[in-house]
Structure 1
Amino acid sequence: MELIIRSYDLKLKHTFTISRESITIQPSMIVELKSDGQSGFGEATSNPYYKITVPKMTADLESIRSLIESTTTETPEEFWSKIHPFLQDDLFALCALDMAYNDLYARKKGKKLYQLWDHPITNNPITNYTIGIDTIDKMVEKMEELPWPIYKIKLGTQEDIAIVKELRKRSKAIFRIDANCGWGVDETIKNAIELKKLGVEFLEQPLKADNWDGHAQVFKESVLPVIADESCIIEADVAKCNQHFHGINIKLVKCGGLTPARRMIAEGRKLGLKTMVGCMTESSVGISAIAQLLPQLDYVDMDGPLLLAEDIADGVLIVDGKVTYADGNGTGVVLK
């Protein structure tokens, strides 16, 4: 098996701002695995919050190139278990590799990945479209630029309620709120009351990730469901989120790929948690991998390609929140 690593700077349509940072360019690493005339593709984007860069991911993969390329017939689960000890400090790189291997494995089997997992796609959830923090006028403008059935609204400002009130005047869509660790306990409980009146479906990660006492209080007192993001990174975090959150938002890059994400989804559902997978502004490479998990999810945030000025790949197509799968097997990705 041959390993090929590419890097891209994904230019965004608009400056994308959350409570802790703003970006106009999203660096991304694409992994291609080639074997027997077939190729599988995976992706991981850089992230300063987790101290991950494309050069770091590239170096970490290069350090085990011979181990990767010696793989022959292992299942994705066996491959992940073999590689994990060498990349446990860089789960982003492991994600791109695992994604590519799953894609390649399914292509060799002549099936789309969700078919290989035997998941029907008749009741797939639709994806939200994210509105980053900006002036109220700009946020309204971004929302009206792309009418959508569900919006995720990034908050963590001094005028959060005013923002949602103004957006609600312009749309009857479902609203989801993501504060990215930007609120306190009392603020969250108070905001939830007002936001419920404004038709908000749930709150995502309002408190700092390690504030478990605060999460427990909000879980008990919030009038809106609360979904974990920064508090749910790896498999061991799922059980910790039980009785602290109503659901979990799994990010493939944070947990190490599709293989552990599937285990996290299964455990979350067993515990009665709502399951969601989110994106990190990936191209259609990463988003097409997320799409394979849709039958197992309650919610999904996979709007990455919609936020880009130009995509680097063809894959799943998203129209009005609904996903149409690519024709090809695996994840169906084709690099442009």
Structure 2
Amino acid sequence: MQVLLKKYSLPLKHTFSISRESHDVQDTLIAALTLNGKTGYGEATSNPYYKITVDSMEKEIMGIEEEITTFNFTTPEVFHQFLTSKGLSNFAVCALDLAAHDLYGKLKEKPLYTLWGTDNSHYPITNYTIGIASIDVMRDKMQEMPWPIYKIKLGTPDDVAIVRELRKHTNAVFRIDANCAWTAQETIFNAPILKELDVEFLEQPLKANDWAGMEEVMHHSVLPVIADESCIVESDVEKCALHYTGINIKLTKCGGLTPALRMIKKAKQLGLKIMVGCMTESTVGISAIAQLLPQLDYVDMDGALLLKKDIATGVQITNEAKVIFPKLAGSGIQLLE
């Protein structure tokens, strides 16, 4: 099995800001696995919060290039076991795991959602993310991209005022993501005000390890709360069930589709709402996420919509928020030259 890596810097349409960082470009690593004339593609983006760069991922993967080349590929799950045994970061594993799934589907000549026995005729609509900026800029971004659901990034001294002002300009559903910037008291105080402003849920309002604070929030918040930074890997799901209404699974954080499928199964057993989110991936990563749509309650897969220029074709999201699945098997990805 041949492995090829490509590094890209993806320019964004707008500066993207959350409570702890801002950027205009998203660096990403594309992994390609080729076997029997078929090529599967996977992706993992860099992330300063988790101290991951494209160079660090490339170094990890190329360190086992020879072993990948000689690996007897049968299923993505067996390949994932091999990768995790090599001590790679979850981000590097993700890029290869997504490529392995795309390759496997192409070898089987079926989309992944079909191989998983799911029906893509019904699926949740992705939100469109509005990063932190001045109220005027945030309003202009909404008007530039009319959408049925917005994720509003917060973590400023004027969070409630921002939502009040944005609500004047749209009837769309709002989801609030504070990216660990609030305290338990702020969350409990803000929740009823935001509920009146038709906010659907809050995402990761507290720091990832503030379990005591989240217990307090769960007892008093009038809005559902979804874990993000608190839910990284499979072992986090059960702990989150005691402190959150649902979880947001990120493929890059957990190590790809293989563990994500297990996390979804576990979350359903525990009665948690299930969301899968993106980290500003291109259509390569977004097409992998889309294969999970029939199994989800919520989804945040707007990464490719935030880019000035994409690097691949695959799953498309129309201006009406409709998802168009490609006829190509696997995740349906073709890399552009």
TM beyond 0.5:
yes
Contact 1:87 1:93 in 2 (8 A): no
Cα distance, 1:71 vs structure 2? 2.1
Alignment partners' CA distance in 1, 2:323 and 2:125: 7
Cα distance, 1:273 vs structure 2? 0.2
Letter in 2 for 1:8: Y
**Cα offsets for 1:176-214 (capped at 9, x unmatched):** 000000000100000111100000000000000000001
Cα distance, 1:321 vs structure 2? 2.2
Cα distance, 1:87 vs structure 2? 3.3
1:85 matched residue in structure 2 = 85
Alignment partners' CA distance in 2, 1:240 and 1:219: 13
Contact 1:113 1:331 in 2 (8 A): yes
**Cα offsets for 1:236-269 (capped at 9, x unmatched):** 0000101200000000000000000000010001
2:222 matched residue in structure 1 = 223
**Cα offsets for 1:298-329 (capped at 9, x unmatched):** 00000001100000111111022221111211
1:48 matched residue in structure 2 = 48
Alignment partners' CA distance in 2, 1:170 and 1:73: 52
1:251 matched residue in structure 2 = 250
2:270 matched residue in structure 1 = 271
Letter in 2 for 1:241: C
Q: For residue 86 of structure 2, give the secondary structure of its aligned residue in structure 1.
A: helix
Alignment partners' CA distance in 1, 2:9 and 2:76: 28
Alignment partners' CA distance in 2, 1:83 and 1:45: 18
Alignment partners' CA distance in 2, 1:311 and 1:328: 18
**Cα offsets for 1:87-136 (capped at 9, x unmatched):** 34x10000000000010011000101111111111221110000000000
Cα distance, 1:27 vs structure 2? 0.3
Alignment partners' CA distance in 1, 2:250 and 2:45: 11
Q: For residue 105 of structure 1, give the secondary structure of its aligned residue in structure 2.
A: helix
Alignment partners' CA distance in 2, 1:235 and 1:42: 20
2:159 matched residue in structure 1 = 160
Contact 1:43 1:95 in 2 (8 A): yes
Letter in 2 for 1:190: F
Q: For residues 121-132 of structure 1, what are the structure 2 equivalents within 5 Å?
A: 121-132=120-131
Alignment partners' CA distance in 2, 1:67 and 1:257: 20
Q: For residues 20-99 of structure 1, what are the structure 2 equivalents within 5 Å?
A: 20-88=20-88, 90-99=89-98
Moved more, 61-70 or 191-200: 61-70
1:205 matched residue in structure 2 = 204
2:18 matched residue in structure 1 = 18
Q: For residue 3 of structure 1, give the secondary structure of its aligned residue in structure 2.
A: strand
Alignment partners' CA distance in 2, 1:20 and 1:180: 8
Q: For residues 308-323 of structure 1, what are the structure 2 equivalents within 5 Å?
A: 308-319=307-318, 320-323=320-323
Query: Does residue 6 of structure 1 match 2:38?
Result: no
Alignment partners' CA distance in 1, 2:123 and 2:72: 33
Alignment partners' CA distance in 2, 1:167 and 1:322: 24
Contact 1:150 1:321 in 2 (8 A): no
Letter in 2 for 1:12: L
Cα distance, 1:295 vs structure 2? 0.6
Letter in 1 for 2:111: K
Alignment partners' CA distance in 1, 2:73 and 2:95: 19
| Unmatched segments (≥5 aa) in structure 1 | none
RMSD: 0.7
Q: For residue 96 of structure 2, give the secondary structure of its aligned residue in structure 1.
A: helix
Alignment partners' CA distance in 1, 2:68 and 2:250: 23
Letter in 1 for 2:241: N
Share of identical aligned residues, percent? Answer: 59
Q: For residues 108-147 of structure 1, what are the structure 2 equivalents within 5 Å?
A: 108-147=107-146
Contact 2:73 2:79 in 1 (8 A): no
| Unmatched segments (≥5 aa) in structure 2 | none
